[in-house]
Structure 1
Amino acid sequence: MRGIKRILLAATAGVLSLGIACAATQAQDKSFVLKFNHVLGPKEPYHAGFTKWAKAVAERTKGGLKVEVFHSAQLGVEEDIIEQIRQGANIGQNTDSARLGNYIPGIAIMNGPYFAETLDEVAKLRKSPTVTKWLDELATKYGLKVVSFNWVQGYRHFFTNKPIKTPADLKGMRIRTPPAPIWQESIRALGAEPVAMAFGDMYPGLQQKAIDGVELVYNNIPGARFYEVLKYANETGHIMLINFEVISAKFFNSLPADYQKILVEECDKAGEETSKAILASEKVVMEQLKGKGMTIVSDVDLKAFRKAGEKAYEVLKITDAFNTVSKEIGK
């Protein structure tokens, strides 16, 4: 009788072990899909970069994790997508610290006037204790997992229909900027009146004179054909545009550990390559715009703009965060 019990117990243990092993195998074999949204056009360098990231992830996971890239805000506007991400949807969004500053105010400094100004400084931000703390808080408290912020879209300049050389030249001008406090206060501090407007509404907004100009990176201009409605590219370089690739923390945590690692590694790699290519191409794009009839204003009073930009940090009460992180990266 005891022998039979031992056999039954052994058999039960074997079945349980097999079940656990099968469950683990099924979890690993389960396929996952991440729908990744961005507002830029299909000809922008970022779209090619995101596509490259998706291909690398699919190859390394043997199709177990697929990243589907949607350009031109095909899945919806950025703010709506971020809220869906917070709810756990398998959606990702290319965004920035300006919008993330709606949840953690201090992180907005990373998209403030004249903060990070080189790729080396952006790389150092990844080792900043304060930045690391912010990213952990975004994931645990707000459900926003930052996969990478290794994507730099270039330097933002003012594009207008009159030359801009000093902050005073922007007085009374309505400049489009995204609807986030650091963007709004940065443009106001630099001398203009900020107007919140979706990326896709800018061209008709300029045609209808609802706005007098925009502040964007060079690579945004050809794809959206802004050279048709704007005459001057004023090289203020007031913000080095660091972008964040954000997905649901809940979705990220549902992935097998090796898939998580691959998703992050390939995103960082694609971001670094894309950022370098963009910065290298800015002069080429600038020449293209000159060929389209735009005038490049390079003799800008950067000292005056830098001084004016400080007010944005003061108004938002994030000057201490600015000073702390600047010190951590040796700026």
Structure 2
Amino acid sequence: MKKKHLLVGTALVATAGLLLTGCSTSGGDSPEASNGEAASGETRTIRISTVNPPTSIDGQILEEVAATIQERSNGELVMEVFPAGQIGTTSDTAEQVANGEDLIAYMDASAIGQMGATDFNLLGGPFLFDSTEEVNNFLGSELFQEMSDQAAAEQGIRILSLGWTDGPRHIFANQPVPHPDDLAGIKLRTPPIDTWITTFDLLGAVPTEVANTETYSALEQGVVDAAEGPINGTYVQRWQEVATHVTLTGHFQTLIGFGISEALWQSLTEEQQQIISEEFIAGGERAQEQYAAEIESTMALMEEESGVEFHEADSDAYRERTAPFYEGNEELYEQVREAAQG
């Protein structure tokens, strides 16, 4: 399998065949099964998109997932991984999935919310989950299953797993920001997603939309003063080289993983669906464990290599300042919190 190591928003090659999942058989035109599923023995090429580099923890595990799916399907499913945003930003590729393109894309709950599944916006909210254990409790709940089914039916996004959680997110800046007041007027990089923009508006920062792949240069050139992200994920993108003060806010425990076009999902056989589902869930579990195991050692590397200083945050002040995020959605908030507590 030829690997395309660019970015999740890969520049699409100029052939229409790469825009949609390619299908072929050794006997010429591939017949379709009468029930709309792919015919047995048909070879299917499916693109997988992520904004993270191939050297990241989830980037490496994604390659393993792709290889295992191909092996388990006896070569019927050929998975091509496009890392580092080659196909587009997280928002771009979530939209492509929602529009029915043959694609598996890296996405979080808020990106799904942007596609019209408005309840998912709450799932990306600040200080909603206190730990990875709470995240996993929620992902295993009936409430999450109901929400996932609705996203498949109404938005065309079949969630494979949102358990690729990479730990709490913190603020990387050129100065410590232990209290929300310290963010006043600071230009902070956000993706073009309402959850991020609303949260940092509430905190007094100036949300500034910058693509994930352009964040390093934006920090270096002063386009933004700060960014936010998880310890391991930011390390591989080297943000700590240009933002050496990290305030440990833990403001998001992001539900993040992969979703597939519902149209593509329904075109697969039940066996193929099972293989894909099982491998993305298992891959998320491995990624989650590895991220958690490496946070402390990664922080040590940041200190040693880049002189990063870590600062504790006034968590109560941050929680209080962002509490209005949930106004008007109190009932769903309580349901999510109940599910998270198991």
Specify the TM-score bucket, using the shorter chain as the normaliser.
0.7 to 0.9
For residue 181 of structure 2, the aligned residue among 136, 155, 168 is 168
For residue 212 of structure 1, the aligned residue among 220, 225, 228 is 225
Higher helix share: 1
Instruction: Say if 1:295 and 1:61 are closer, same or farther in 2 by CA, change over 3 A.
Output: same
Whole-Å separation in 2 of the counterparts to 1:26 and 1:128: 31
Structure 2, unpaired ranges of 5+ = 1-30
Q: CA deviation at 1:206?
A: 1.4
For residue 168 of structure 2, the aligned residue among 136, 155, 163 is 155
Whole-Å separation in 1 of the counterparts to 2:79 and 2:233: 24
Note the alpha carbon deviations across 1:196-220, whole angstroms, 9 max, x for none. 1111121221122111110111123
Q: CA deviation at 1:131?
A: 2.1
Contact 2:148–2:159 (Cα < 8 Å) also in 1? yes
Whole-Å separation in 1 of the counterparts to 2:83 and 2:37: 34
Number of aligned positions between the proteins: 311
Instruction: Say if 1:67 and 1:290 are closer, same or farther in 2 by CA, change over 3 A.
Output: same
Superposition CA RMSD, Å: 2.3
Q: CA deviation at 1:25?
A: 11
| Paired residue secondary structure (1:63) | coil
Whole-Å separation in 2 of the counterparts to 1:126 and 1:228: 34
Instruction: Say if 1:74 and 1:24 are closer, same or farther in 2 by CA, change over 3 A.
Output: closer
2:194 is the alignment partner of 1:181: yes
Instruction: Say if 1:329 and 1:299 are closer, same or farther in 2 by CA, change over 3 A.
Output: closer
For residue 324 of structure 1, the aligned residue among 321, 335, 342 is 335
Aligned match of 2:255? 242
Instruction: Say if 1:87 and 1:221 are closer, same or farther in 2 by CA, change over 3 A.
Output: closer
For residue 71 of structure 1, the aligned residue among 83, 89, 92 is 83
Aligned match of 1:47? 59
Instruction: Say if 1:26 and 1:281 are closer, same or farther in 2 by CA, change over 3 A.
Output: closer
Aligned match of 1:15? none
| Paired residue secondary structure (2:306) | coil
Aligned match of 1:28? 40
| Greater mean deviation of Cα atoms: 196-205 or 151-160 | 196-205
Contact 1:33–1:90 (Cα < 8 Å) also in 2? no
For residue 305 of structure 1, the aligned residue among 304, 310, 318 is 318
Percentage identity across aligned positions?
Answer: 26
Aligned match of 2:17? none
Whole-Å separation in 2 of the counterparts to 1:238 and 1:291: 25
- Report the AA paired with residue 139 of structure 2: R
Contact 2:181–2:204 (Cα < 8 Å) also in 1? yes
For residue 129 of structure 1, the aligned residue among 133, 142, 150 is 142
- Report the AA paired with residue 310 of structure 1: A
| Greater mean deviation of Cα atoms: 163-172 or 298-307 | 298-307
TM-score (norm 2): 0.85
Larger radius of gyration: 1
Instruction: Say if 1:213 and 1:22 are closer, same or farther in 2 by CA, change over 3 A.
Output: closer
Contact 2:53–2:83 (Cα < 8 Å) also in 1? yes
Instruction: Say if 1:142 and 1:205 are closer, same or farther in 2 by CA, change over 3 A.
Output: same
Aligned match of 1:60? 72
Instruction: Say if 1:164 and 1:320 are closer, same or farther in 2 by CA, change over 3 A.
Output: same
TM-score (norm 1): 0.88
